[in-house]
């Protein structure tokens, strides 16, 4: 890493200590809070470790090479905004009337490192997340990072995050070393999530090696298409693989209006019920989607998608999310404020569901 980038990271994290913003959330119209639920942050330790790893092995995480080589023009801005939990972020939330952000670690987070380093970095990240929430308890909630590379350690971190750090759930950036969570070796993580009542946000990342070839051209490997294809495939593997028969109380959160899955419900149920479909699940795919999942609006601030998802899953199954700093609080709150749904549904999407799912009381 260059000297200037190291200095920059130090500067950004030091600046995070001082804040002059009021802790009082703005009075809002409508009588409900506005809570954004997929809000990205990172810590200097993750950036330093990732930069070191990619400098040694540029092929390890090709998306990261774009960032550190300077090919991604907004990297310095985005990095500063992800590390900051103080004036800049809170000011943008205030200006948009967003009361609270549920923070989670930038993808692929700890999942790009070897197991022991990933376990350590997850603890460091979660400790800093808990400290940030303690400084601003009415403005932030948080989802813990865990390292699926070591399922037992990840299960222990779920318990520590929920019980000792009082975080609000966990977030897993989809596949880990090209493996999906329907593999039973990962199921201690689900056991711990159910035991500690921790919802699991399955967040996209670049498709795994066995998938990514078809996405490598035209920038299709990331937010344009690859993220949604990877994450929806992963989640359908969990459903068809019987994860929710084994763990009926497991709660999961999906971004991007369910990564396309709500639109597929009719076909999933029709084909999933045919004798030619090889699976042993006990219910229709749609029943797991309705009972075990809640979707967020991240990157999908679009009335037709919102209304469709509410129609097929229910207004208690959609939560507001911006994906700051990749999304804009101002743009997305302006959209949902004016969205063509009832005020009762809007109250659920803006905060009622997040308060229930993430146990946000403060
Ligand atoms: Mn995101």
**Per-residue pLDDT tens digits for 129-177:** 999 999 999 999 999 999 999 999 999 999 999 999 999 999 999 999 9
Is pLDDT at 13 greater than 50 in this prediction?
Answer: no
Half-sphere exposure of 157 (CA within 13 A, CB side): 27
Spell out the domains of the chain, with CATH numbers in brackets.
30-107+301-357 (3.20.20.140)
Residues with CB under 5 A from ligand 1 (ion): 323
The alpha carbon of 142 and the centre of ligand 1 are apart by a number of angstroms equal to 14
What is the spatial distance between Cα 61 and Cα 54, in angstroms, rounded to a whole number? Answer: 7
For residue 163, count other CB atoms closer than 10 A to its CB.
Answer: 11
Secondary structure of residue 172 in the 3-state scheme? strand
Active-site residue 323, yes or no?
Answer: yes
Is pLDDT at 339 greater than 90 in this prediction?
Answer: yes
The alpha carbon of 277 and the centre of ligand 1 are apart by a number of angstroms equal to 33
State the average pLDDT over residues 223-248.
Answer: 98
Pairing of strands 144-145, 293-296: unpaired
Is pLDDT at 297 greater than 70 in this prediction?
Answer: yes
Q: How far is CA 30 from CA 8, 89, 342, 348, in A?
A: 41, 23, 11, 12
**pLDDT given for residue 214 in this prediction:** 95
The alpha carbon of 271 and the centre of ligand 1 are apart by a number of angstroms equal to 31
What is the spatial distance between Cα 239 and Cα 268, in angstroms, rounded to a whole number? Answer: 11
Secondary structure of residue 77 in the 3-state scheme? helix
Task: Indicate the pLDDT class of residue 22, thresholds 50, 70 and 90.
Answer: very low
Whole-prediction pTM: 0.92
Task: Indicate the pLDDT class of residue 91, thresholds 50, 70 and 90.
Answer: very high
Residue at token pair 């990072």: 145
Q: Provide CB contacts within 8 A for 231, sequence distance 6+.
A: 174, 202, 203, 204, 254, 255, 256, 259
Secondary structure of residue 74 in the 3-state scheme? coil
The alpha carbon of 32 and the centre of ligand 1 are apart by a number of angstroms equal to 24
* Active-site pick, 84, 99, 221, 323: 323
Per the CB < 8 A criterion, the answer to whether 319 and 335 are in contact is no
What is the spatial distance between Cα 94 and Cα 96, in angstroms, rounded to a whole number? Answer: 5
The alpha carbon of 39 and the centre of ligand 1 are apart by a number of angstroms equal to 7
């Amino acid at each position: 890493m260059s000297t200037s980038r190291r200095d920059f990271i130090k500067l950004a994290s030091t600046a995070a200590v001082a804040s002059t913003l009021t802790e009082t959330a703005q009075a809002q119209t409508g009588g409900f809070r506005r809570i954004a639920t997929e809000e990205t942050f990172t810590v200097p330790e993750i950036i330093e470790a990732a930069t070191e790893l990619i400098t040694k092995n540029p092929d390890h995480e090709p998306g990261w090479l774009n960032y550190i080589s300077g090919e991604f023009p907004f990297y310095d801005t985005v990095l500063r905004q992800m590390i900051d939990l103080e004036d800049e972020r809170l000011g943008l939330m205030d200006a948009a009337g967003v009361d609270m952000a549920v923070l989670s670690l930038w993808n692929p987070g700890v999942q790009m490192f070897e197991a022991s380093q990933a376990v350590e970095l997850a603890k460091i990240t979660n400790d800093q997340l808990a400290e940030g929430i303690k400084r601003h308890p009415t403005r932030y909630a948080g989802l813990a990072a865990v390292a699926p590379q070591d399922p037992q350690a990840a299960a222990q971190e779920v318990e520590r995050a929920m019980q000792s750090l009082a975080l609000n759930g966990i977030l897993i950036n989809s596949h880990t070393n090209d493996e999906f969570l329907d593999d039973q070796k990962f199921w201690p993580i689900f056991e711990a999530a159910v035991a500690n009542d921790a919802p699991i946000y399955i967040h996209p990342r670049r498709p795994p090696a066995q998938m990514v070839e078809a996405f490598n051209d035209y920038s299709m490997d990331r937010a344009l298409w690859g993220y949604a294809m990877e994450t929806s495939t992963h989640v359908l593997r969990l459903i068809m693989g019987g994860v929710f028969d084994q763990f009926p109380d497991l709660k999961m959160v999906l971004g991007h209006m369910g990564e396309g899955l709500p639109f597929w419900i009719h076909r999933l149920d029709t084909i999933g019920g045919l004798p030619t479909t090889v699976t042993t699940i006990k219910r229709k795919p749609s029943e797991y989607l309705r009972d075990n999942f809640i979707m967020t609006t991240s990157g999908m601030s679009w009335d037709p998608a919102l209304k469709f998802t509410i129609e097929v899953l229910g207004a208690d199954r959609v939560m507001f999310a911006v994906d700051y700093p990749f999304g804009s609080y101002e743009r997305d709150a302006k959209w949902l404020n004016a969205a063509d749904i009832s005020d009762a549904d809007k109250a659920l999407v803006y905060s009622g569901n997040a308060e229930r799912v993430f146990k946000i009381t403060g």
